[in-house]
Amino acid sequence: MTSDLTEIRNIGPATARALIGAGVADAAYLRRIGAHEAYRALLVAGESPHFIGYYVLCMAVQGRPWNDCKGAEKAALRVRFDALVAEVRGQPLSGLEAALDEIGVIAPRG
């Protein structure tokens, strides 16, 4: 599948593949749902949460360099990220996580 996601600043091939796998197929859809909901889709699809990835995606959607996120803005994004991760962890495990949990490879969430 081809996608224009890598045309967005800060989004490389690996992130584009992850987004596509999570149902965010193109730049127009990413812009429509926003970085927060796109990151939710990544988490629900089984991606591990990483704050840097979250704020880089937020900057990408705004067309800003990833390292433009600083100070109070970064602190506010951290609060949103932590709340999102806590919310998603309340959801059932993804297929892979459930299988790994069943054989005892990952620690229980929560």
Stretch 44-57: mean pLDDT: 94
- How many angstroms separate the first and last alpha carbons of the chain? 35
Upper half-sphere CA count for residue 20 (Cβ side, 13 Å): 14
**Contact in structure between 30 and 5 (CB atoms under 8 Å):** yes
The gap from C-alpha 55 to its chain's centroid, in whole angstroms, comes to 9
> pTM of the predicted model, to two decimals?
0.78
Token output for 51 = 């704050």
What topology does CATH give the domain 5-102? DNA polymerase; domain 1 (1.10.150)
List strand residue ranges (DSSP E) for the chain, in order.
none
Domain residue spans of the chain: 5-102
Stretch 14-21: mean pLDDT: 96
pLDDT in the model for residue 110? 45
Stretch 49-67: mean pLDDT: 95
